[in-house]
Structure 1
Amino acid sequence: MVVLERYLQLYERESQLISSAWKTFHIFFYVIVALSGIAAGSAFSQVLESFGGNCVLHSNVTFVSDKTNNSSTSYLTIDCVKTEWGRQSDCSFCQYVPVCSVIFSIVWITFFLMCGRGGKTTRGLSQPWRIVLPSLIFNITFLGVALAAACKLHDGINVFCSSFQDDMDETNCHDLARYQLMEGNTGLLTYKYMKVAQISSWINVAGWSMSVIVLLMRCFCAPDFQLIQISILAPTPVQEQHLSSRQDSIDGVCEDMIDHGNTGRQQSHT
């Protein structure tokens, strides 16, 4: 046979043939995003509460240490005249981005739970691969937002720690744990909340990053589709001659059968 034309056709793969790992990874990383967002938002809110709701990011806080009742516990008060607080918009941004991460991750978890494994399916939303591209675009966009919030939070707390070390003549921000903040939580709790907020914000970024990577891999690997090669064939001249001779022989046999039938009918009439 002679190949007249050959091309590839893209078809949806049956859902049963697609690994459930794709759907599992999507949901798993969104769960990581949701949990880290809750931790980061809650911890940073506690940090702000320790300073009376003022923004500590990139702030130059002036502390006044005081020991009361001959106690070894040092109480820190803030010199409101000399203190330079950070911009409230920065703290609001770092506080509400994790909240948005929680909301959006729950939305995408719901979408992927409503869909099947992928490909062509009759369960849940049909053609679940259609949400992959919108999800990828959104995840890349929000990854940039989460990364900006994490960097701002990390740098802002480091600036605050530098101010604390210079003002209190301490060698490390961990020394804040030895003080009792008059405005809110103890220094130990405040320091722990700062670290939890920083670590959780980076875990949140990692969750969005891994989600983007999985979506990109799904786009490049295309597990929802399969390529089928289609060929249009035609017989060679030798095959055409052979087919023609076979057709002639078949026609001859048919004619003999017809003649034999006509002869039999004529004899029966006579």
Structure 2
Amino acid sequence: MVTKLIRDFCDPGYSSIYLVDDNGTPKILKVLQQRYNNKPRIIQLFRQEVEVLKNLEHPAIPKADCYFQHPVSNGKSLHCVVMEKIEGCTLKEWLQQHQPIDQKQAIEWLEQIVNILNFVHQRKYLHRDVRANNIMIEKSGKLVLIDFAGAIKRDLIYKTYAYIRKVISAFIFTKTETDGYTPPEQNRNYCLPQSDFFSLGRTFVYLLTGKEPKDESMYDGKYKVLTWRKYAINGVSERSGNLIDKLMTPNVSERYKNAREILEEIRIIKEELDANKLKIL
């Protein structure tokens, strides 16, 4: 059985998504659209997701089965990936059916995603596209981080390349305007674990406010300032707001150094929430 899914699992328009039956087990089949068959870079990204996922065995990350090519009548081949089907919807879809979340829910979800990113970063990978479209929620409430097509391993070659790009960008002016989720340094072609934190912070602004990070009511494009707290539908405490702001500060050195620092701050906030010590602003 093969069923085309209307919902695209955040693939950026490169592939068609199908639900397939593998001996009674539902799985996802991603097929790269043929118009990209002459785009080696896109093919490489499409293929590498399987290898990345095989190196990231985690209950909150989809499992990948295989990559293969399937010949078609025009003499060309279809590039295909088979992977685990996650039962649920993306947080973007969830928000379209619900009100923006309150800070208690935000802290619970944030803790889940930071734990996943901690695992990913410990294995020297960067996700590079954290956003509500790429986080799924199962019926149990468990969150799953998906779409690792753009993930990169921070090996010695990449670290050297990233350092060179960082030095070059310090002397050459480059435009760093992004879609609101991509950090400035990533737009200059170098990334760090803190780059995923930036995207995570912007994602939770969206979940708390229902507004995209570059919504004109919140974002000042001239000064690159995001004034979001007053748009949090259910309010947010100063400490929780500070956590999110620190995740997404434009200056990498001012963000949290690692996931453990974020988890420690989350632990303190949860204790204060339980004791009703956090004042909603």
Same fold (TM over 0.5): no
Greater length-normalized contact order (CA 8 Å, ≥ 6 residues apart): 1
Structure showing greater radius of gyration is 1
Interval containing the TM-score (normalised by the shorter chain): under 0.3
Q: Which has the higher strand share?
A: 2
User: What TM-score comes out, normalization by structure 2 length?
Assistant: 0.26
Q: Which has the higher helix share?
A: 1
